[in-house]
Amino acid sequence: MADTKELRADAPADLVRALDALALSHDKHRTTYMLEILERHVTLELHKVSIVSSMLRGNPLLPDTKRTEL
């Protein structure tokens, strides 16, 4: 079984109703739908970070904690 953590937060009611409607239109539970959205978002953001990190390797504008000399 995968390691899990609880993810809870209050959200605006209109947003929750919209998420419920969208989840229902995909025949999914809200939690399943939200986790899929979050995973896609994180995947895209990490891809961006990977590109930036790769392209700026050795660049003095990149913070020291991320800079690697070739």
The model's pLDDT over 12-45, given as tens digits with 9 standing for 90+, comes to: 999 999 999 999 999 999 999 999 999 999 999 9
Could you give the angle at which helices 30-55 and 13-25 cross, rounded to 10 degrees? Answer: 100
Threshold 0.85, pTM exceeds: no
For 11, 19, 46, the CA distances from 69, given in Å and listed in that order, are 44, 45, 22
The model's pLDDT over 42-68, given as tens digits with 9 standing for 90+, comes to: 999 999 999 998 898 888 888 766 445
Sign of CA dihedral 31, 32, 36, 39: positive
Q: Tokens for 52?
A: 């930036």
**3-class secondary-structure state, position 1:** coil
The count of residues in the chain is: 70
